[in-house]
């Protein structure tokens, strides 16, 4: 009788699949904010409105100027002294509202929905979230505003060709002013983002943005003339306007000084947002 010996092979326990460890890095936070920005319907709508305001109002202003010149109708002195550049950038004041409001929504919107808790849980150090949001939306607004400014000028300069307002892209200061307009609107978007993170309220952020850019200059104009001359050039909207003004008067900052002052306002808004983000809970 033969006995067969069965050989048993030892069973090796299956090792669970290990997930790779992901580190929170700056580029990954930027990619995350980029994805969140473009998944919002409000982003497409508001960016489209900002571009529409910039192009449409600029072309309407150029067409109105051309019509009045051809018909010989009376024009206000300010409108009569317009150039193809100032007419093309007439919609900047309207575009800044759209881009600034969207900047507020980018940050304050997460606080209103509670999504900010998930965001800060994924990025515990917090500040990279603010820098990424500001950088992503600021660059998007800069590109869209710059493209809109150049397109509007190229079309608008053709409309007013042959009039006293005529200018070409090769004239001195034109390219600098168009780039300055795009940079100004990009920084307005960053300020809106900072205000949203600072105040954590959509209504509050929009109110402060509109008051800063549009209401405060009107209130300053009620002050004595000597006060106006010392305060008005350094207001955010007036300093920003100096960045894309072709001809500068004695009471207007130079383009470089205007950029420095407006950039300082932007840094101040970001500093306030960073302070609150670090010091208080979401």
SS (H, E, C) the chain: CCCCCCCCCCCCCCCCCCCCCCCCCHHHHHHHHHHHHHHCHHHHHHHHHHHHHHHHHHHHHHHHHHHHHHHCCCCCHHHHCCCHHHHHCCCHHHHHHHHHHHHHHHHHHHHHHCHHHHHHHHCCCCHHHHHHHHHHHHHHHHHHHHHHHHHHHHHHHHHCCCCCCCCCCCCCCHHHHHHHHHHHHHHHHHHHHHHHHHHCCHHHHHHHHHHHHHHHHHHHCCCCHHHHHHHHHHCHHHHHHHCCCCCCCCCCCCHHHHHHHHHHHHHHHHHHHHHHHHHCCC
Average pLDDT of the residues in 247-271: 90
Q: 18 falls in which pLDDT band (50, 70, 90)?
A: low
For residue 12, pLDDT over 70 is answered with no
Average pLDDT of the residues in 165-190: 94
Q: 191 falls in which pLDDT band (50, 70, 90)?
A: very high
Q: What percent of the chain has pLDDT over 70?
A: 92
Q: Supply the pLDDT for residue 157.
A: 93
For residue 20, pLDDT over 70 is answered with no
Q: Supply the pLDDT for residue 1.
A: 43
Separation between Cα atoms, residue 10 and residue 63, nearest integer Å:
87
Of the ranges 29-38, 106-115, 269-278, which is most confident? 269-278
Separation between Cα atoms, residue 204 and residue 246, nearest integer Å:
34
Give pTM, 2 decimals: 0.88
Domain ranges of the chain: 26-279
Q: Supply the pLDDT for residue 16.
A: 52
For residue 4, pLDDT over 70 is answered with no
Separation between Cα atoms, residue 71 and residue 260, nearest integer Å:
43
pLDDT in tens, 31-89: 999 999 898 888 999 999 999 999 999 999 999 999 888 887 777 777 778 899 999 99
Tell me the pLDDT of the chain averaged across its residues.
88
Q: Supply the pLDDT for residue 266.
A: 97
Top-confidence residue, 271 or 73: 271
- Among 80-84, 129-133, 154-158, 241-245, which is the least confidently predicted range? 80-84
For residue 19, pLDDT over 70 is answered with no
Q: Supply the pLDDT for residue 10.
A: 55
Of 95, 112, 123, the closest CA to residue 29 belongs to 123
Q: 21 falls in which pLDDT band (50, 70, 90)?
A: low
């Amino acid at each position: 009788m033969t006995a067969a010996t069965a050989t048993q092979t030892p069973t090796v326990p299956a090792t669970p699949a290990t997930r790779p460890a992901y580190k929170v890095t700056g580029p990954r936070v930027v990619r995350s904010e980029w994805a969140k920005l473009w998944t919002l319907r409000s982003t497409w709508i508001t960016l489209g409105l900002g571009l529409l305001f910039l192009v449409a109002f600029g072309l309407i202003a150029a067409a109105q100027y051309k019509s009045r010149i051809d018909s010989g109708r009376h024009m206000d002195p300010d409108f009569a002294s317009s150039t193809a550049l100032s007419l093309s950038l007439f919609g900047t004041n309207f575009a800044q509202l759209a881009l600034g409001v969207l900047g507020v929504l980018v940050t304050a919107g997460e606080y209103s929905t509670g999504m900010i808790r998930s965001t800060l849980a994924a990025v515990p150090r917090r500040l990279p979230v603010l820098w990424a949001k500001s950088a992503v939306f600021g660059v998007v607004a800069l590109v869209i505003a710059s493209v809109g400014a150049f397109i509007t000028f190229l079309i608008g300069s053709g409309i007013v060709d042959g009039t006293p307002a005529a200018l070409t892209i090769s004239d001195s200061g034109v390219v600098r002013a168009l780039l300055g307009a795009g940079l100004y609107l990009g920084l307005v978007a960053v300020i809106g983002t900072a205000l949203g993170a600072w105040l954590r309220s959509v209504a509050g952020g929009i109110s402060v943005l509109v008051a800063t850019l549009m209401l405060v200059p009107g209130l300053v104009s009620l002050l004595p003339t000597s006060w106006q001359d010392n305060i008005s050039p350094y207001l955010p909207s007036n300093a920003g306007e100096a960045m894309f003004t072709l001809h500068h008067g004695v009471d207007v900052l130079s383009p470089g000084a205007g950029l420095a002052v407006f950039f300082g306002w932007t840094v101040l808004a970001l500093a306030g947002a960073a302070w609150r983000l670090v010091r208080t809970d979401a």
